[in-house]
Amino acid sequence: MSDSRNPKPGDKIFRPGRTKKFHLRRVLGTAGLFSAAYGDVGSSIYYALGVVAMSALGLTPPVLMISGLVFLFTALTYAEGATMLPEAGGSGAFAYRAFNPLVSFIASWVLMLDYIVTMSISAFSAVNYLGYIFPALGHWPADSIGGIVVVVFLAYINIRGLQASSRLNIIMVMVDLLTQITIAILAALLVVKIPTLIHNIHWGVAPTTNQFLFGVSISMVAYTGIETVSNLGSEAKDPGKSIPRAVIFVFITVFILWAVLSMAALSAYPVHQAANGTWVTDLTQKYLHDPILGIAYVMPVSIRHVLSFWVAFLAVTILIIATNAGMLGASRLAYFMGQRQQLPGIISKVSRRARVPLNAILVFSVIASVLIGIGHIGLLADLYAFGAVLAYTLAHASIIALRIKEPSLPRPFKIPVNLHIKGKEIPVSSILGGLATFITWFIVVYTHAVGRVVGFSWLAIGLLIYFLYRRRRGKQPSDWTVEPKKKKTQEML
């Protein structure tokens, strides 16, 4: 049948609606962001104290204060970055915009290491706290086996896609926060003794300068999870206000809690010289894996057992939530890297059936399980410090570079206090934070032998995958440049 209708140029089909491909429902306000971030950062309170006290000894409280300041600078950097580029990649996303895909890859790859270590350290510590209720779980290898079971269980849940209850998460985090505040108040009133804290410090001996530097670098583990805010940037309602507020609230809360809890722990378990002449504290001898139980144990007899049981129960819950947060972070980051052609599709692709990056979850769960199997919390903290401070350094550098390269980029939150150099505003906190994290990374590399070897091996494997993958794929869309029409012009001539 011939088409008798003669379409004219003006005849158009108008299809209303769907002007955009899709739009997102942003639901997280300041409270939601705070609870998500605190769920991560606050969980480190349950394991970091022992790790830091192992090397910083009597100087543990000031060391945690110093790393708290670095955390504040980093938190401000992430607040500006997350509101400016609300993507899942965190420092990788900032570096992608500020520098190039390679720098972005390095930032994302070390961050991936951090997420995996967060999974390992949280699952391992959760089982150690469970050891208070079931004593058989409190020792190696039972704690490692238990940790691996936790990771496998969470991987199964995430692959099957059972819906996690956000409301339950928020309630648990709030209960956790209230418990930590209660312990801190009780500890401040009943346990903290300033003269003991002063006597704990033996300048140049306990800790030695090396131990002190080691302590400062490893104390980064006390603030795991600041990246969470970046991850949730795309889900935040009014991100220009809610993200900075959530970040500042998290900082204030964690900073105060660390100050009080570390002073309480070192008051209750003073630094002393062991029979072999080394300086130690019973906190790390008896409660290395579950230091908050150590604080609960020195409370008055009437509340000691109830409080210890409650702390153990809550720590298990919060640390399992933190393990899951690490798994979700790694999974989202794998997706981000896959989208930017930084990770082969076999790892990053979203499974059609499960609708999650299935292979990424499986691979990272296996690596986390291997790390848990070793059962050495010090090694995990080393690795965390190696990845975290490098990622933070690159985040600070990216924010500074973007202030220079793209000063007009919309920034719903702009870090206050800036240096004015050649008409550019450079945030002072990012300069200080960048320098501090870079020096810390240098100390980590210099003083942590295991962290250095494993960390650089991780980086080398990643770069090998990256270069082989990029070489195989050829130039990526983001690298394309418009070739000048020289050839054509010459042909015409």
Taking CA atoms, 120 is separated from 126, 129, 150, 174, in Å, by: 10, 14, 10, 24
**Full DSSP string of 227-296:** HHHHHTGGGBSSHHHHHHHHHHHHHHHHHHHHHHHHHHHHHHS-EEE-TTS-EEEHHHHH-SS-HHHHHH
Positive or negative, the Cα torsion across 422, 424, 429, 432?
negative
- Taking the complex as a whole, how short is the minimal distance between the CB of residue 356 and other proteins, in angstroms? 4
* Nearest approach, Cβ of residue 25 and other proteins (Å): 4
- Cβ of residue 454: shortest distance to other proteins, in angstroms? 26
Phi/psi at 419 (5° precision): -90, 140
Joined together, the tokens standing for residue 327 give 């798994």
Q: How far is the CB of 85 from other proteins (least distance, A)?
A: 12
308/331 with CB nearer other proteins: 331
The DSSP code for 206 is B
Q: For the CB of residue 448, give the shortest distance to other proteins in the complex, in Å.
A: 31
Q: Which CB sits closer to other proteins, 332 or 396?
A: 332
Residues 206/279, Cβ–Cβ less than 8 Å: yes
| Least distance in angstroms from the C-beta of 54 to other proteins | 34
Residue 425: strand pairing partners? 420
Q: Whose structure tokens read 């900073």?
A: 255
Residues interacting with other proteins, by CB under 8 A? 15-18, 20-27, 87-88, 158, 161, 163-164, 166, 231, 234-235, 327-328, 331-332, 335-336, 350, 352, 355-357, 361
Token pair, residue 122, equals: 């949280």
Residue 209 in tokens? 């300068």
From residue 145, how far is each of 23, 183, 189, 302, 307 by CA, in Å?
43, 30, 39, 34, 27
Q: 23 vs 422, which CB is nearer to other proteins?
A: 23
Q: Of 120, 30, 17, give the one whose Cα is nearest residue 381.
A: 120
For residues 130 and 294, is the Cβ–Cβ distance under 8 A?
no
CB closer to other proteins out of 355 and 405: 355
Of 26 and 414, which has the nearer Cβ to other proteins? 26
Q: What's the full length of the chain, in residues?
A: 493
Residue 352 or 471 having the CB closest to other proteins = 352
Q: Which is nearer to other proteins, 118 or 308 (CB)?
A: 118
Closest separation between CB of residue 354 and other proteins, Å? 8
Q: Is 329 or 344 the residue whose CB approaches other proteins more closely?
A: 329
Within 8 A by CB and 6+ apart from 229, the residues are 33, 36, 37, 75, 78, 79, 82, 243, 246, 247
Name which of 60 and 341 has its Cβ closer to other proteins.
Answer: 341
Cβ 361 to other proteins, closest distance in Å? 7
| CA angle centred on 464, ends 462 and 467, rounded to 5° | 105
Distance CA 130, CA 74 (A): 33
Token digits of residue 235: 């889900």
Least distance in Å: CB of 293 to other proteins? Answer: 30
